[in-house]
Amino acid sequence: MLPVLVGIVPTGLAVGAGLSAAGVPFGPGIVSAATVYGATSQVVLADGVTRGAPTLLTVATVAIVSARLVFYGVGVGRRFCDASTAFRWLAPLLIVQPLHAVIDARLARPASLADRTAYYLGAGLTLWGAWQLAHAVGMLLGSVVPSALALDAALPLCLLAIVAPALRDRAVWMSALAAGVATVALVGLPYGLGAVAGGCVGIGFGARMVTR
């Protein structure tokens, strides 16, 4: 948990500062942190606002980027098939990539439903609270944080630290490579859509390899 928190705090500061720099008021920015919960989705949102992208395109791009949460939810949800209806409806609100990375191995171990629920909520609420706090501080103090601290580098470094352990088999790392190459090749697309297109290429490549 600690390594993920170390990555989340500077990332939250950077995202909050980015939204503030994009002209997003403090109130809506805080609401976005709680509702559009996820660094990548909020970066896409801030980028769309900064570039003056059409609202519908920005919403669609955020939705596409957030679609990966469906797969995280499926992976985690099978561990809570016998949980209450309320838990199964509300627990997904905490699912983000860092949480999935933290709890995936732990939930695979034999444990009672109460233990699994406690670990999920403990980890999820801790990460959510740290993100909200860091995001708020970033929006308030982002303009006075020295650029030399390079907080914007925290997001790719955090994502790299999360993704790297998953690159264990050929299908996964080949998909990651395909996504990376496509993203670089399509970097010139307007409104930052190169990253979204690259992610779609990686997903399609991985699905093709798995079903072959």
Highest mean pLDDT among 37-51, 57-71, 173-187, 188-202: 173-187
Q: Are 24 and 32 in contact (CB under 8 A)?
A: yes
Structure-model confidence comparison of residues 81 and 49, the more confident one: 81
Per-residue pLDDT, 192: 64
In tens, the pLDDT along 129-182 reads 988 998 898 888 766 655 545 555 555 666 666 666 666 777 777 888 888 888
For 9-75, the DSSP string reads: HHHHHHHHHHHHHTT--HHHHHHHHHHS-SHHHHHHHHHHHHHT--HHHHHHHHHHHHTHHHHHHHH
**Has residue 45 got a pLDDT over 80?**
no
Q: Among 67-71, 110-114, 158-162, 174-178, which stretch is predicted with the lowest mean pLDDT?
A: 158-162
Per-residue pLDDT, 142: 66
Give this prediction's pTM: 0.70
- pLDDT band of residue 92 (cuts 50, 70, 90) is confident
Domain parsing of the chain, residue ranges: 2-164, 167-212
Calculate the CA dihedral of residues 47, 48, 52, 53 and round it to 10 degrees: 150
- pLDDT band of residue 125 (cuts 50, 70, 90) is very high
**Has residue 74 got a pLDDT over 70?**
yes
Range 1-20 average pLDDT: 75
Structure-model confidence comparison of residues 46 and 177, the more confident one: 177
Per-residue pLDDT, 160: 66
Structure-model confidence comparison of residues 143 and 60, the more confident one: 60
